[in-house]
Copies of this chain bind each other. A is one copy, B any other.
Amino acid sequence: MAVRAGVVVTGTEVLSGRVTDQNGPWVARQLLEMGVDVAHITVCGDRPADLTAQLQFLADQRVDLIITTGGLGPTADDLTVATVAALCGRALHLDIELEQRIDAIVQRWRSRMSTAIDSEPLNAGIRKQAMVPAGALSIAPTGTAPGVAIPATGELPAILILPGPPRELQEMWPDALETAPVAEALANRAEVRQSTIRAYGLSEADLAATLRAAELKVSGFDDLEITTCLRLGELEMVTRYPDSADAAYAKLVTQVAESHGKQIFSTDGSTIDDIVAHRLSGRRIATAESCTGGMIAARLTDRAGSSAYVIGGVVSYSNEVKSGILGVPPEMISEHGAVSEPVAAAMAEGAREGLGTDIAVSTTGVAGPGGGTELKPVGTVCFGIAVSGRATVTRTLHLSGDRASVRALSTAAAMHMLANALA
Which of A's residues lie within 8 Å of B, judged by CB? 12-20, 24-29, 32, 38-46, 50, 53-54, 57, 61, 75, 113, 115, 117-118, 121-122, 167, 203, 205-206, 208-209, 212, 227, 229, 231, 236, 238, 287, 289, 292-298, 300-302, 304-307, 310-318, 320-321, 324-325, 354-356, 368-371, 401-405, 407
Contacts and interface: CB of A to CB of B under 8 A. Distances in A.
A301 B351 CA distance: 20
A314 B313 contact: yes
Contacts of A371: 307
B315 A287 contact: yes
A42 to B, nearest CB: 5
Contacts of A310: 293, 315, 317-318
A368 B311 contact: no
State the number of copies, please.
2
A238 B312 contact: no
Contacts of A368: 304
Contacts of A18: 25, 29, 229, 236, 238
A314 B209 CA distance: 46
A320 B16 contact: no
Contact of A302 (B20, B43, B325, B404): B404
Contacts of A20: 20, 25
Given A293-B298, A312-B315, A315-B312, A26 B17 contact: yes
Contacts of A118: 209
11 contacts: A17-B28, A18-B25, A40-B42, A75-B208, A121-B209, A121-B212, A289-B297, A304-B403, A306-B317, A312-B325, A313-B317
A200 to B, nearest CB: 15
A355 B356 CA distance: 20
Contacts of A401: 167
A2 B405 CA distance: 36
The 3 closest A-B pairs by CB, nearest first: A293-B301, A294-B294, A17-B25
A16 B313 contact: no
Contacts of A19: 229, 231
A317 B311 contact: yes
Q: Is the interface of A mostly helix, strand, loop or mixed?
A: mixed
Nearest to A206: B115
B313 A294 contact: yes
Contacts of A53: 40, 57, 61
Contacts of A13: 227, 229
Contacts of A301: 293-294, 315, 317
Contact of A205 (B117, B231, B311): B117
A306 B407 CA distance: 14
A227 B293 contact: no
Contact of A321 (B113, B289, B296, B311): B311
Contacts of A14: 25
- Which of A295, A356, A407 has the most B CB atoms < 10 Å from its CB? A295
- Which of A75, A315, A355 has the most B CB atoms < 10 Å from its CB? A315
A312 B304 contact: no
